[in-house]
Amino acid sequence: MNKLRKILYPFALLYGELVSFRNKAFDKGIFKTTKFSIPTIVVGNLNVGGTGKSPQIEYLVRLLQRDFSVAVLSRGYKRKSVGFQLADKNTNAEQIGDEPMQFYSKFDNILVAVDGDRVNGINQLKKLINSPNVVLLDDAFQHRKVDAGFNILLTAYHNLYTDDFMLPAGNLREKSIGANRAQIIIVSKCPETLSETEQFKIAQKLKPSLNQTIFFSKITYHDNVINERCKIALTELKNYKVLLVTGIANANPLIKFLENKKIQLKHLKFADHYNFSTSDKENIIYEFDKIQAKEKIILTTEKDYVRGFSNLNNQIYYLPIRTEFLDHGGDFNTLILSYVQQNTRNS
């Protein structure tokens, strides 16, 4: 434990006890929870940020959207609106947040809404004429006021919750015992070459209960960087100089991926969910203009792109990502589809 963590450790202990008291109050019915008749699936984590919740939500949308009417409900982190907001063609990222805007931009046939009060958000979705028959709750594992029917907990391979500390000494929102609420635990962002032996060792560290299933997933990158007008193959991008702009929790895997592709880049790093000001964007263009190359682009992440970069410059692109399971993906799909089908019939 480094010096700063030692200083903060007493505060982490206090915070952990306060969160534990809250969880016990929900478990014992002292604090009210609401259970809904329609299927509700939570995707969340114990660590703050960087576990791949957004690509996992998108995976679920692709799995379910053909046979079910799907809604994604988020808090809308750092949005400038309040209360319940339903995305439509006039919505922008400032109104609903970057990740909900990404979901809305990518999928034509789902509902996307935001509400800090998830109970109210689900009730508002149920009132719609085209109301959904399954709701995906993004980053709601600690939102105990909703008694979700199914909980999916993500933990990143490089930062397992069993290796972390409570805030503010570490990045845990609650103690590791909170993982017991999940039906599925996904170890995300794994190396593609992760062996079954290594998977078994990780599973031993996480100590799942008998009613929990552990899966291992990886992030895969698209073959092209794209924008609204065109695309460039990654194989061609090694002939370009790239100004990489990121506002995500951990850009290291993306940087490593690009460098392995022999892509020359300069990185401008901003905080996770950073709200880029006009002066920030002007500085990005200034840094881009300084690059001495005929072939050059600005590259960013998909959620940064939908935050307004699409109007910044014709030479700005993003690299789409997806989550894929290392193995047993069919078993994951079966668990999710079985839960939704059974509870849709019963709703």
Domain check: are 211 and 230 in the same one? Answer: no
DSSP string covering 209-224, please?
-TT-EEEEEEEEE-SE
Domain check: are 239 and 340 in the same one? Answer: no
Domain check: are 233 and 276 in the same one? Answer: yes
Whether cis (ω within 30° of 0) applies to the bond prior to 168 is: yes
* Amino acid found at 212: Q
Per-residue confidence (pLDDT) for residue 330, from 0 to 100: 97
For residue 109, is it within any domain?
A: no
Domain check: are 338 and 294 in the same one? Answer: no
- The domain tally of the chain equals 2
Range of the domain at 297: 223-319
Roughly how many angstroms between the first and final C-alpha of the chain, as a whole number?
Answer: 49
Domain check: are 301 and 339 in the same one? Answer: no
Question: Could you state, in chain order, the average pLDDT of each consecutive group of 10 residues for the chain (347 residues)?
Answer: 76 93 95 96 92 96 97 94 95 93 94 97 97 97 96 96 93 95 97 95 95 97 92 93 91 91 93 86 90 92 80 82 96 98 79
Helix (H, G, I), strand (E, B) or coil at 62: helix
Pairing of strands 213-221, 321-325: antiparallel
Domain check: are 206 and 228 in the same one? Answer: no
For residue 86, is it within any domain?
A: no
Residue 172, phi-psi category: left (phi > 0), alpha (psi -120 to 50), beta (remainder): beta
Per-residue confidence (pLDDT) for residue 237, from 0 to 100: 93
Domain check: are 204 and 228 in the same one? Answer: no
| Residue 30 neighbours by CB under 8 Å, 6+ apart | none
53-64 and 329-346 helices, crossing angle to 10°: 60
Per-residue confidence (pLDDT) for residue 194, from 0 to 100: 96
For residue 39, is it within any domain?
A: yes
Per-residue confidence (pLDDT) for residue 263, from 0 to 100: 93
For residue 7, is it within any domain?
A: yes
Distances (CA, A) of 343 to 60, 138, 142, 209, 224: 16, 19, 23, 23, 39
* Amino acid found at 294: K
For residue 93, is it within any domain?
A: no
Domain check: are 201 and 341 in the same one? Answer: yes
Per-residue confidence (pLDDT) for residue 78, from 0 to 100: 86
Q: Is the distance from CB of 60 to CB of 43 less than 8 angstroms?
A: yes
For residue 248, is it within any domain?
A: yes
Please state, as a whole number, how many other Cβ atoms lie within 10 Å of the Cβ of residue 75. 20
Distances (CA, A) of 327 to 67, 97, 154: 24, 33, 16
Q: Which residues pair with 269 in a beta bridge?
A: 246
* CATH code for the domain of 204: 3.40.50
Domain check: are 228 and 309 in the same one? Answer: yes
Per-residue confidence (pLDDT) for residue 310, from 0 to 100: 60
Domain check: are 40 and 158 in the same one? Answer: yes
Per-residue confidence (pLDDT) for residue 196, from 0 to 100: 95
Domain check: are 232 and 190 in the same one? Answer: no
Per-residue confidence (pLDDT) for residue 107, from 0 to 100: 96
| Start-end of H helices in the chain | 3-27, 53-64, 93-96, 98-106, 118-127, 196-206, 234-237, 252-260, 278-290, 302-305, 329-346
Q: Is the distance from CB of 279 to CB of 305 less than 8 angstroms?
A: no
